[in-house]
Amino acid sequence: MIRVLVADDQDLVRAGIVATVNAQDGLTVVAEAADGAQAVGAAATWAPDVILMDIRMPGTDGLEATRRILAAAPSARILVLTTFDADELVHAALAAGACGYLVKDAPIDELATAVRAAGRGDAVLSPAITARVVARLLAHPPADPLSDARPPAADLLTDRELEIVRLIADGLSNIEIARIVYLSEATVKTHVGRVLTKLALRDRVQVAVWAHRAGLARRPG
């Protein structure tokens, strides 16, 4: 059972998200929060498997709450669920450490799939959003080690790892990659972990950016 915390300042919206999550097999809401500060406290108390986090909330917003939660619990899985899909907000959420980004008008099955993926340790970004984020980062590189250093050489990776890197750059999840390369999802996850370690990158979005900068993937456009 994947235990979920829902953080949203609108009572009716939050109630709808809670009801939707609780109606899915294998998912249960263990706590709710009406603002970022409450989300930080609830995350510490309940240690949920996945946190659904709104961005724009009074007081402590979702981005700051995400940073605080991850500072205390780096393995927390925070999935941003918001009305807004502006590129700068997607980038800010990922920079804060969120493992994924969904808009509130996403279909119910997409939300459920995203929560399960986050619970498995997967990143949750649609190919369209991945392409937009990569394009933005390539055009306006953030001030972080990824942009300040030459990308590590592709020969650090095995042929299988390079294949998986290219699929990550296309925005595919572990389970989607597994189907394409005929491996188990657990094996793909192991390969992704090795890629992150070898390249000294934090997450799949950085892998996608690295792949584009290293000329290993199609440029979005």
Which pLDDT does position 163 carry in this prediction? 92
Question: pLDDT for 194-208, tens place per residue?
Answer: 998 888 887 777 788
pLDDT the model gives residue 59? 92
Reduce the DSSP state of residue 27 to 3 states and report it.
Answer: strand
CATH H-level superfamily of 132-213: Response regulator (3.40.50.2300)
User: Which pLDDT score, from 0 to 100, does residue 146 have?
Assistant: 44
pLDDT bracket for residue 128 (50, 70, 90): low
Would you say residue 149 has pLDDT above 50?
no
> Which of helix, strand or coil describes residue 116?
helix
pTM for the model stands at 0.71
Q: Three-class SS of residue 152?
A: coil
Distance of CA 48 to the CA centre of its chain: 16
Q: b/e string for 69-97 if b means 16 or more Cβ within 10 A?
A: bbeeeeebbbbbbbeebeeebbbbbbbbb
Secondary structure in 3-state letters for 179-219: HHHCCCHHHHHHHHHHHHHHHCCCCHHHHHHHHHHCCCCCC
Q: Which numeric CATH code is attached to 2-124?
A: 3.40.50.2300
Residue 150 has pLDDT above 90, yes or no: no
Name the residue ranges covered by the structural domains of the chain: 2-124, 132-213
How many CB atoms are located within 10 Å of the residue 23 CB?
10
Nearest CA to 218 out of 101, 127, 142 is that of 127
Q: In this model, does residue 147 exceed pLDDT 60?
A: no
Q: Can you tell me the mean pLDDT for 100-113?
A: 85
Q: What is the mean pLDDT of residues 118-133?
A: 70
Taking 90 as the threshold, does the pLDDT of residue 212 lie above it? no
